[in-house]
Structure 1
Amino acid sequence: MQFQHPELLYALFLLLIPIFIHLFQLRRFKQVDFTNVAFLKKVTIQTRKSSQLKKWITLLLRLLALAFIIIAFAQPFTATKTALNTDKETVLYLDNSFSMQAKGTNGPLLNRSLQELYNLQIPSEKISWFTNNTTHKNVSLQDFTNEILSVSYSQGQLTLSEVLLKANQLFSDSEASDKRLILISDFQQNEAFPEVPKNVTINTVQLEPVNTNNIAVDSVYISSKNGNNIQLKVDVSASGDVPESVPVSLFNGKSLVAKTAVDFSSNNTNTTVFDIENTSDFKGRLEITDPNLPYDNNLFFSINTNKKIKVLSINETDSGYLQRLFNQEEFEYTQQTQNSLNYNEIPNQDFIIINELTAIPASLVTAIQSFSANGGSVLVIPSEQVEITDYNNLLATLGMGSFSGKIVAEKQITNIVFDHPLYQNVFEKQVVNFQYPTVNSYYGITTNATSVLTFEDSKPFIFQKNNTYFLSAPINLENSNFQNSPLIVPTFYNMAQQSLALPNLYYTIGKQNSFDVPVQLMKDEILKIKDSSSVFIPLQQTKANKVAITTIEEPAVSGTFDIIKDTDFITNISYNYNRNESNLQYLNTENWQGINSSTSISGLFETISEANNINSFWKWFVIFAVLFLLLEMLVLKFFK
């Protein structure tokens, strides 16, 4: 027990006064000889004992009454250390990710949480709270109540480490304040439990769905394509107890194009196939019906009119292998010799190959530098007899180092930089027994550029800086068998493909997505991305014959959007939500060391309210003081 005014307890020493008065007022009974009558002697003895008992009872009741009055004025109470701390900070995290669409006993987990928070009386004057996509610092309870019901689902989900880091930014720097972090989530399994900060009390409310059943459209891709038809393959996954057969619908805009079914009787992951016409523009949408997590029931994609990638090779040797490589539907390949080169064609290209030129004139160096600066991609293949000065001039202009001279010695090209963007999704695993190509001669190189392929001594065979690639050895058939190596196809093909990064079928919201739009813009012109209800300006960089666009947080909703210049339509682009939350696997917060776990929001706040209560007892002491005074009056009046 504690006291609000403990200094008043010194008044208890005043209880000595009635004790002293009582002792001094006690009188001795004087013996008086009387007639030797047994009855009278017995009455005298009883009267004396009764009088002394009455006085002691009266004194005790009087002391108790005074003591209880003094203690009442000192205001006794009981409270925890948390309740006594007047500087309290509360931060609330509410998980509004798509996994909270799962159904609980009273409906979707997020909707039920919002309703409970709206109806609760939070024991704090101000509160900081945040979701996966919004933050509110030190808002009043009225503002909290007004805003909590407007929380909607977010495509992103913070990890627990990110939640603790963000909460720490909302707390003050005061070490004396009592800091409490409340986490309301389903705690989907995306990382291990992080370490709990020592100066923060963490309370968790783990919301559990009634089932973990879900069906999701995972991905779509083009498996084959010809002049008339496109074959689409769609991956659909299921978890938990799901029907054996689930219908999948394919739409072009709002029109239903085809419908099929996916069989889950033997496997939880299956693929279905759609054949569609090879039309100029296809605004695709795949749809299933699943009541558990609606967010992954749709997948949007766009098939646009192909813009051919323009490839120009400037040759001084045989270029048959280049013609065979780029004689594909997606490329527009042309070739010229150095003597008949049309410099006016260079700015219109996407990818230029300098194919074993002996000398590189200054005019070509200037043209290549301008082309590269405007976003074009360049590949330089040296010849066996080069003008070192010309090549070093080009290397220096591009900031890629210098050749030191020709070395005649056989070397194997043995090291593939598997993490390089050219080889993404090329190899299923890092191959160690590959049939590596060789060269009979090469040029010594001093460079700080990034290696793509290297020799056995780790010297670069292909090196890259920005959008320019350089070879350190000729690859004609007399000097190398690289033309016959399987490596040449993905290497050169992806160089050309990445020179104009045309939009994919779709992109994932929340990730950094980059693509090129083949359009020429005048000064102060920009591209916009719009749908039926919103429009935004993405991050963009204007090049000579294209615009490089990068998106991260926007758009915030899935769908197919139009890329426009002013009001002119350019192309379509599609975005979808990340499918990570389709996997309904959860952590168990009881295994999180150092936190307090609850199963309901109302139960948690009742516990917090009880912990913050101060139990005052002064009224009880006043009641007992009055009771003792009444008992004293009764004793004086009726105790004979």
Structure 2
Amino acid sequence: MQFKHPDFLYALLALIIPILVHLFQLRKFKKVAFSNVQFLQSVTLQTRKSSKIKKWLTLLTRLLLLACVIIAFAQPYFSAKENSSKQTETAIYLDNSFSMQAKGQKGPLLQRAIQELLAAIDDDEQISIITNNESYRKVSKKDIQNDLLQLDYSANQLPYSAAYLKAKQLLSTDSKTNKRVIMISDFQQKEESLSIPTTTDTQTNLVQLQPVTHQNLSIDSLYVNYDTNNELQLHVELSSSDNAVDNVPVAVYNEEQLLAKTTVSIPEKAKNTVTFRLEENTKINGRVLIEDPTISFDNFRYFNINTPEKIKVIAINESDDKFLKSIYTPDEFTLISSLLQDVNYNNLQDANLIILNEVKQIPVSLIDVLQSFYKQGGTLCFIPATDGNIPSYQQLTSQLGVTGLTAKKTQEKQITTIAFSHPLYNGVFDNTVRNFQYPKVNSLYTTNASNTILAYEDKSPFLYTSGNFYAFTAAINTENSNFKNSPLIVPTLYNIGKQSLQLSDISYTIGQNNSYDVAIKLGQDGILSLVNEEENIIPQQHSFSTKVRITTNEIPTKAGIYSLQNKENIIQHISYNYDTSESDLQYYRLTTNDQYEVSDAVSSLFNQIKEDSRVNELWKWFIIFALLFLIIEILLLKYLK
């Protein structure tokens, strides 16, 4: 038996008072003389004996009465667990990720969990709740009810370990309270095993909600390319998380206009790709749809095909530039090629890429312009001349703050090493090429640069990079090298040009690091915004003289087609889609262990918690006993003679 107010038990010491009163009675008896006391002696003895019994019984009932009253004020009780008398703090992680859209036996997992949670929480109970995108500390049911009923799904799910630690931070450090963390989720399998950093001072309960099926269809990715007939094609990759399915309808829309529709079959736990032909030179704000009732967030993907922005390339030559004209074609680039003495310096700041094509000596005035261009985010590609002026080269690289050339060396070397993982060659090679005809040079310049893209047989750089600066260490004219005849020259210079202005892709994934350039000149206070019907946000942006670089990660939060706007002017459209990693409905198999207890429903867990913390209060019984002893005392005084 335990007591809510044990301090009242000190009042039991007061029971000694009636005992003293009964033991030390100070009243004196008065003697009365009788003529014949022989007969009265037995009556007197019998009366004194009866009186003594009556007094002891009265004393006992009074002691019991007072004791029951005192114990009733101390509020005794029996509890199911030893620590139930302590105050309990509860923090709940409610997973609102997209996989919680799956249907359980009583409806969507998230909606059912919210209903059971609200039904289980007492009106005056204080709890803390976190979701993947919200946090509520010590709130009541009334405070949180509307927010939970309107809770939307989140594209960014917290790792389970991070969710546990975040929930635990909402609990106090008071050692006098019982602490409990409850995690409500489907516990979709992300890694090989579930890792939750539980602690001994906190009770951990996991509620694993189970869907009725693991079957789900999803659109995994979209990409466009040109086929052998130079026709633009959209490729849609679909997957099935469980069983094979046939005749899945797939539709492509441009805004509200249906462009094409077909059906596709997907093998068991595999992928399939369906291809659609698109009209060239047509601006498309598109979306691809499939029909699948299990989970809806991955049944659609948005994409954009904008009018391509041409990349401006300026070549400053003291060597043949025909190879540049064949690479930087007018359909994607605007190439301005001129001799060194004919360069219009005023045009250089408007370029995205400047190529120094074997200029023997770089004028100081040009170096100053190139330094300003480079600091404003421009890309510079440097090709040295065979007999170039090394001090002028070093002055350029010194002012740019990059590694330069050190000395000329006349030696034939083969270019044998390719950095296949470098972003410059993303998508260029299907696999690592090891047997090809190596290009060579007859003379070169040495350098201490380390970020090598192409290297000689001794691992020294032929092409290296530092930020937006790309430098060759040898002239590539036909007298000094056969690099112009190598298949490497086209993807190398083409991708340098493409990366000088990172045009937007057809779509981006929310939650990933996305970066693209917008060819626009903004004023000092100019700001670009991403706008659609649900959101109006200002993304992270860096303004240069000829472009603005947009970077997004956690924002936007909603999938859709956004207009990139400068105030009210729409520049272009950008598509964002949800990450489809949650489309694979595979789950951990959890069982109760030393770290946590596992339940299959919110209601059953809270019923168990209430049963474990149930308190049987006894104070009412002690009040009843006190009244009973009071009645006994009255009866003793009245009827016991």
TM-score by length of 2: 0.84
User: Which residue matches 1:453?
Assistant: 454
Letter in 2 for 1:273: T
Structure 1 equivalent of residue 29 of structure 2: none
How much does 1:62 deviate?
10
Q: Which segment drifts farther, 150-159 or 629-638? A: 629-638
Q: Distance in 2 between matches of 1:453 and 1:228?
A: 31
Residue type matched to 2:378 in 1? G
Q: Do the aligned partners of residues 66 and 533 (structure 1) sit closer, same or farther apart at CA in structure 2, a change above 3 Å counting?
A: closer
SS of the residue 1:590 aligns to: coil
Alpha-carbon distance, 1:525 to partner = 2.9
1:228–1:277 contact (8 Å) kept in structure 2: no
Give yes or no for contact 2:522–2:543 (8 Å, CA) kept in 1: yes
Specify the alignment match of 1:36 in structure 2. Answer: none
Counterpart pick for 1:337 among 334, 339, 350: 339
Q: 1:106 to 1:337 in 2, by over 3 A?
A: same
The aligned counterpart of 1:178 is 178
Percent identical pairs in the alignment equals: 43
Task: Give me the whole-angstrom Cα distance separating, in 1, the residues matched to 2:329 and 2:78.
Answer: 87
State the one-letter code of the partner of 1:390.
S
Segment of structure 1 superposing worse, 527-536 or 110-119: 527-536
C-alpha distance after superposition, 1:386-424 (max 9, x if no partner) = 111100100101101343211233445455444432233
Does 432-441 or 59-68 show the bigger shift?
Answer: 59-68
Contact 1:72 1:621 in 2 (8 A): yes
User: In the alignment, which residue of structure 1 is the partner of 2:599?
Assistant: 598
Residue 378 (structure 1) aligned with residue 380 (structure 2): yes
Deviation larger for 386-395 or 159-168: 159-168
After superposition, the C-alpha distances for 1:204-245 in whole angstroms (9 at most, x for unaligned) are 111111111111111121131699842111111122346411
Partner of 1:46: none
Q: Find the aligned partners of 1:236 and 1:19 in 2 and give their Cα distance.
A: 95
The answer to whether the 8 A contact 1:414-1:455 is kept is yes
Q: Distance in 1 between matches of 2:589 and 2:367?
A: 63
Distance in 2 separating the partners of 1:522 and 1:556: 28
Question: How much has 1:129 moved relative to structure 2?
Answer: 1.3
What SS is found at the alignment partner of 1:83?
A: coil
Tell me, in whole angstroms, the C-alpha distance in 1 between the residues paired with 2:263 and 2:324.
44
Correspondence for 2:466: 465
**Is this contact kept in 2: 1:558–1:576, CA < 8 A?**
yes
Residue pair 1:8, 1:74 contacting (<8 A) in 2 also: no
Aligned partner of 2:53 in structure 1 is none
C-alpha distance in 1 between matches for 2:626 and 2:532: 77
Aligned residue for 1:137, secondary structure, equals: strand
The aligned residue for residue 121 of structure 1 is: 121
Code of the residue aligned with 2:374 in structure 1: it is: S
CA apart distance, 1:446 = 3.6
Aligned to 1:501: 502
Aligned partner letter, 2:282: S
- CA 1:595–1:343 in 2, change beyond 3 Å: closer, same or farther? same
Q: Is the 8 A contact 2:118 2:141 kept in 1?
A: no
| SS of equivalent residue, structure 2 residue 252 | strand
The 8 Å contact of residues 118 and 149 in structure 1, kept in 2 or not, is answered as no
194-203 or 512-521, which moves further after superposition?
Answer: 194-203
The change in CA–CA distance for 1:148 and 1:11 in structure 2 (over 3 A counts) is same
Pair 1:429–1:176, CA change in 2 (3 A) = farther
Residue 356 of structure 1 corresponds to which residue in structure 2?
A: 358
Secondary structure in 2 matching 1:386? coil
- In structure 1, the residue matched to 2:92 is 92
Residue type at the aligned position of 1:104: G
Deviates more, 1:148-157 or 1:387-396: 148-157
CA distance in 2, matches of 1:389, 1:491: 27
1:530-545 → structure 2 map (5 Å cutoff): 530-545=531-546
Unaligned runs of 5+ in 1: 22-55
For residue 311 of structure 2, what is the aligned residue in structure 1?
309
1:79-102 alpha-carbon deviations (Å, 9 max, x no partner): 33442223x332111111111110
**Distance (Å, rounded) in 2 between the aligned partners of 1:81 and 1:472:** 78
Q: Is the 8 A contact 2:244 2:269 kept in 1?
A: no
User: Given the alignment, which residue of 273, 286, 289 partners 2:288?
Assistant: 286
Aligned-residue RMSD, C-alpha: 3.6
AA aligned to 1:189 is Q
Contact 1:214 1:242 in 2 (8 A): no
**Structure 1 match to 2:148:** 148
Work out the CA distance in 1 between the residues paired with 2:230 and 2:489.
30
- 1:263 paired with 2:294, answer no
Query: Structure 2: which amino acid aligns with 1:118?
Result: L
CA distance in 1, matches of 2:203, 2:420: 46
Partner letter of residue 165 of structure 1?
L
The range that moved more, 482-491 or 277-286, is 482-491
- Separation in 1, partners of 2:258, 2:304: 15
Q: For the residues of structure 2 that align with 1:579 and 1:490, how far apart are their CA atoms?
A: 31
Distance in 2 between residues matched to 1:206 and 1:416, nearest whole Å? 49
Aligned partners of 2:110, 2:58: CA distance in 1, in Å? 66
Supply the distance in 1 between the matched residues of 2:143 and 2:430 (Cα, whole angstroms): 54
Counterpart for residue 157 of structure 1: 157
One-letter identity of the residue aligned with 1:340: D
Query: Could you say which residue in structure 1 is the equivalent of 2:76?
Result: 76
Q: Which position in structure 1 is the counterpart of 2:132?
A: 132
Bigger CA drift: 344-353 or 56-65?
A: 56-65
Question: Do the aligned partners of 1:517 and 1:546 also contact (CA within 8 Å) in 2?
Answer: yes
CA distance in 2 between partners of 1:595 and 1:376 (Å): 56
- Equivalences for residues 180-329 of structure 1 within 5 A: 180-191=180-191, 192-224=194-226, 229-241=231-243, 243-264=245-266, 268-327=270-329, 329=331
User: 1:75 deviation in Å?
Assistant: 4.0
Distance 1:178 1:66 in 2: 35
Q: Report if aligned partners of 1:350, 1:499 keep a CA contact under 8 Å in 2.
A: yes
Deviations 1:188-210, CA, capped at 9 Å, x for gaps = 11233233233322111111111
Q: 2:18, 2:93 → 1: CA distance?
A: 56
Aligned equivalent of 1:24: none
1:617 maps to 618
- Taking structure 1 as the reference length, the TM-score comes to 0.85
Q: Distance in 1 between matches of 2:138 and 2:155?
A: 25
Q: What SS does structure 2 have at the residue aligned with 1:295?
A: coil
Distance 1:337 1:485, change over 3 A: same
Amino acid at match of 1:541: H
How far apart are the structure 2 equivalents of 1:637 and 1:173? 60
User: Is the Cα contact below 8 Å between 1:9 and 1:74 reproduced in 2?
Assistant: no
Task: Tell me the alpha carbon deviations over residues 497-516 of structure 1, each in whole angstroms, 9 at most, x when there is no partner.
Answer: 11111110001112221111
Q: Which residue of structure 2 aligns with residue 53 of structure 1?
A: none
Task: Give, as a single letter, the amino acid of the residue that structure 2 aligns with 1:500.
Answer: L
CA contact under 8 A between 2:243 and 2:269: conserved in structure 1? no
**Mean alpha-carbon deviation: is it higher for 479-488 or for 367-376?**
479-488
CA displacement, residues 347-404 of structure 1 (integer Å, 9 cap, x when unaligned):
2321111111111111221221122122221110112211111001001011013432
Alignment size in residue pairs:
610
